[in-house]
């Protein structure tokens, strides 16, 4: 009994320790960026911190943690990267507004350094998401991150949900059991061989033992009456009950629950049909491209010289791709292949069945004999795509978007082509940070369709950050 109580205490204490670690990390981050900002202020000759500036650190840290707590970011289970970024941004500007009101109310605005506050909030805006991710990774390593959940589903569907939760561990849902919808089997060895009532009682006991307060129903083909009965039964033992609806390929992150006179409805918003959303996306593309392109101009010149020294002219390769609304445009890249590459491809596919099978699956060849030495390096690092910044400036592409498809691939894209071509193609996207070049062509099409349906400015920022991580850590492109 003492061992059982000890285990229960450990299971209850881990979520509290994880929450405390997140809070402490946020407080330390505030203090760190405040100290760095004060040092920079002294270096720039603005003088040392005043007593009022130092005293502001405490309410700033308290307000920062309080606002993030109100936004549900402690511990933030169930929030994906996009939602985390959205709430984080809101918390930064909310604290800035609170501090401004505080300064006006107590008439201390003149005593606070504008430069100091600007540096602090800019640093929090940029650094906090990375700090939160590092803390989560550390908590995951010592088994402090995540809370136990029970999955109620079909065998195949349940296994799919469990695999998804394990793959997306940052959501913080740790499945401890899979209960079949007929209530005749549980994926826990100690509960096999019991009848339905015994199994359900065993699941409840298992949930209590693991301190699980969340149940996930993933029953896409269950009758409404049966699902309602199961949810009602689960509500007696679980504080949180989630239902995964049979709306695959329809819903996105912009869904809103509606109550239509007592009838549940889901409103589905398509953000890319909003002209202001498209204008915002275009503005972000222009600003980021001009600033980023100016910074990497020396790198572009060096890469162009390397291509020229190995295989001569032309340095750039232009290929016809399908843009927004199917309009063709010349997509620019550094040339990575020998001359007459398309003619050579036809010969290769005719002579080697293995190459042909690989090309039909991926529309690429891993060991492509047409690629030059510098070209292989450019492909592995995706640096060959940097000239596409010119396409972004011309409005033919976006920094983030669907893959720029070849006209001959139109037939293979299928019925989702009209959705995918609703927006300009991107230099990067889901296909690069998730599947890279190991994904089948059909899987890339699914990723692009998901992007168009799920688009938000927050999603673009997350994908850009993941692209940087992928380029630095993953050399799997070809």
Q: Is the same domain home to 407 and 300? A: yes
Q: How many domains is the chain partitioned into structurally?
A: 3
For the chain, report the end-to-end CA distance as a whole number of angstroms.
58
Res. 89: pLDDT tops 60: yes
Q: Within this chain, do residues 188 and 102 fall inside the same structural domain, yes or no? A: no
Residue 193 has a pLDDT of 44
Of 26 and 205, more confident: 26
- pLDDT, residue 10, reads 60
249: left (phi over 0), alpha (psi -120 to 50) or beta: left
| Angle in degrees, CA 281, 285, 290, rounded to 5 | 155
Residue 53 has pLDDT above 60, yes or no: no
**Last residue of some domain: 246, 265, 293?**
246
- The predicted structure's pLDDT at residue 105: 67
- Are residues 376 and 464 located together in one domain of the fold? yes
Q: What is the mean pLDDT of residues 229-243?
A: 83
- 191 has pLDDT over 50: no
Q: Residue 332: how many CA atoms within 13 Å on its side-chain side?
A: 16
User: pLDDT band at 26, cuts 50/70/90?
Assistant: very high
Q: How confident is the model over 90-130, as pLDDT tens digits?
A: 999 998 888 777 767 666 555 566 777 777 888 889 999 99
**Predicted confidence band at 66 (pLDDT cuts at 50, 70, 90)?**
very high
Q: Do residues 323 and 227 share a domain?
A: no
Rounded CA gap, 267 and 236, in Å? 29
Average pLDDT, the chain: 79
In a domain, 357, yes or no: no
- 430 has pLDDT over 80: yes
Residue 431 lies in a domain: yes
Per the domain annotation, does 253 fall within a domain? Answer: no
Burial 252-290 (b: 16+ CB within 10 A, else e): bbeeeeeeeeeeeeeeeeebbeeeeebeebeebbeebbe
Of the listed ranges 185-194, 265-274, 309-318, 441-450, the one predicted with least confidence: 185-194
Maximum mean pLDDT: which of 44-58, 126-140, 274-288, 336-350: 126-140
Phi (first) and psi of residue 475, to 5 degrees:
-105, 45
Same domain, yes or no: 222 and 133: no
Query: Which of 121, 141, 161 is the endpoint of a domain?
Result: 141
- 445 and 310, same structural domain? yes
The residue that leads in pLDDT, 474 or 376, is: 376
pLDDT digits (tens, 9 = 90+) for 387-428: 999 999 999 999 999 988 888 888 888 777 888 888 899 998
Q: Is residue 201 part of a domain?
A: yes
Q: What is the pLDDT of residue 211?
A: 82
6 and 100 belong to one structural domain: yes
The answer as to whether 268 is a domain residue is no
10: in domain: yes
Regarding whether 411 and 309 lie in a shared domain, the answer is yes
pLDDT band at 187 (very low <50, low <70, confident <90, very high): very low
pLDDT of residue 131: 92
Q: Kindly tell me if the per-residue pLDDT of 331 is higher than 60.
A: yes
Rounded Cα distance, 441 and 431, in Å:
10
In this predicted structure, which of 67-76, 186-195, 346-355, 365-374 has the lowest mean pLDDT? 186-195
At 304 the pLDDT is: 92
Tokens of 414: 């299928």
Q: Are residues 422 and 304 in the same domain?
A: yes
CB atoms within 10 A of CB 243: 17
Residues 135 and 164 in one domain: no
Confidence of residue 7 (pLDDT cuts 50, 70, 90): low
Specify the pTM. 0.78
Reduced to 3 states (helix: H, G, I; strand: E, B; else coil), residue 147 is: strand
What integer pLDDT is reported at residue 52 of this predicted model? Answer: 47
| 53-67, 364-378, 443-457: which is most confident | 443-457
pLDDT by residue (tens digit) across 126-166? 999 999 999 999 999 988 898 888 887 776 777 778 888 88
What CATH code is carried by the domain that includes residue 167? 3.40.50.720
Please check whether residues 105 and 222 belong to one and the same domain.
Answer: no
**Which residue, 206, 228, 246, sits at the end of a domain?**
246
Distance CA 385, CA 316 (A): 10
Instruction: Tell me the residue range of the domain where 73 lies.
Output: 2-141
Residues 158 and 123 in one domain: no
Domain membership of residue 191 (yes or no) is: yes
Q: Is residue 365 part of a domain?
A: no
């Amino acid at each position: 009994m003492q061992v059982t109580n000890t285990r229960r205490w450990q299971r209850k204490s881990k979520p509290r320790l994880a929450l405390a670690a997140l809070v402490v990390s946020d407080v330390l981050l505030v203090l760190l960026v405040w100290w760095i900002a004060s040092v920079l202020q002294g270096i720039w000759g603005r003088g040392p911190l005043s007593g009022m500036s130092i005293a502001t650190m405490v309410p700033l840290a308290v307000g920062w943690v309080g606002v993030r707590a109100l936004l549900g970011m402690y511990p933030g289970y169930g929030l994906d990267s996009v939602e985390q970024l959205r709430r984080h941004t809101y918390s930064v500007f909310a604290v800035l507004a609170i501090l401004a009101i505080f300064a006006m109310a107590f008439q201390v605005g003149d005593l606070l350094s504008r430069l100091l506050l600007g540096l602090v909030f800019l640093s929090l805006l940029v650094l906090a998401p990375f700090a939160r991710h590092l803390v989560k990774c550390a908590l995951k390593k010592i088994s402090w991150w995540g809370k136990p959940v029970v999955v109620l589903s079909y065998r195949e569907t349940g296994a799919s949900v469990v695999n998804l939760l394990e793959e997306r561990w940052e959501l913080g849902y740790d499945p401890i059991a899979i209960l079949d919808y007929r209530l005749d089997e549980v994926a826990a060895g100690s509960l096999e061989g019991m009848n339905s009532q015994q199994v359900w009682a065993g699941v409840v006991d298992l949930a209590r033992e693991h301190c699980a307060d969340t149940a996930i129903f993933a029953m896409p083909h269950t009758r409404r009456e049966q699902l309602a009965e199961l949810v009602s039964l689960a509500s007696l033992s679980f504080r949180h009950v989630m239902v995964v609806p049979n709306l695959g390929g329809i819903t996105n992150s912009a869904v809103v629950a509606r109550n239509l006179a007592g009838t549940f409805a889901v409103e589905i918003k398509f953000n890319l049909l909003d002209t202001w959303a498209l204008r915002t996306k275009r503005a972000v593309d222009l600003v980021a491209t001009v600033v980023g392109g100016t910074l990497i101009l020396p790198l572009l010149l060096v890469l162009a010289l390397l291509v020229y020294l190995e295989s001569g002219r032309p340095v750039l390769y232009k290929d016809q791709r399908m843009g927004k609304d199917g309009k063709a445009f010349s997509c620019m890249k550094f040339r990575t292949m020998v001359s007459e590459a398309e003619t050579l491809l036809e010969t290769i596919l005719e002579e080697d069945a293995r190459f042909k099978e690989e090309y039909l699956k991926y529309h690429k060849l891993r060991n492509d004999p047409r690629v030059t030495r510098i070209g292989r390096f450019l492909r592995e690092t995706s640096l060959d795509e940097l000239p596409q910044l010119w396409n972004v400036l011309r409005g033919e592409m976006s920094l983030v978007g669907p893959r720029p498809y070849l006209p001959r691939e139109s037939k293979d894209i299928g019925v989702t082509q009209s959705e995918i071509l609703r927006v300009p193609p991107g230099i990067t996207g889901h296909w690069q940070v998730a599947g890279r070049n190991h994904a089948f062509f059909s899987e890339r099409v699914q990723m692009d369709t998901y992007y168009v349906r799920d688009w938000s400015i927050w999603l673009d920022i997350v994908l850009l950050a993941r692209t940087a991580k992928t380029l630095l850590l993953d050399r799997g492109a070809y």
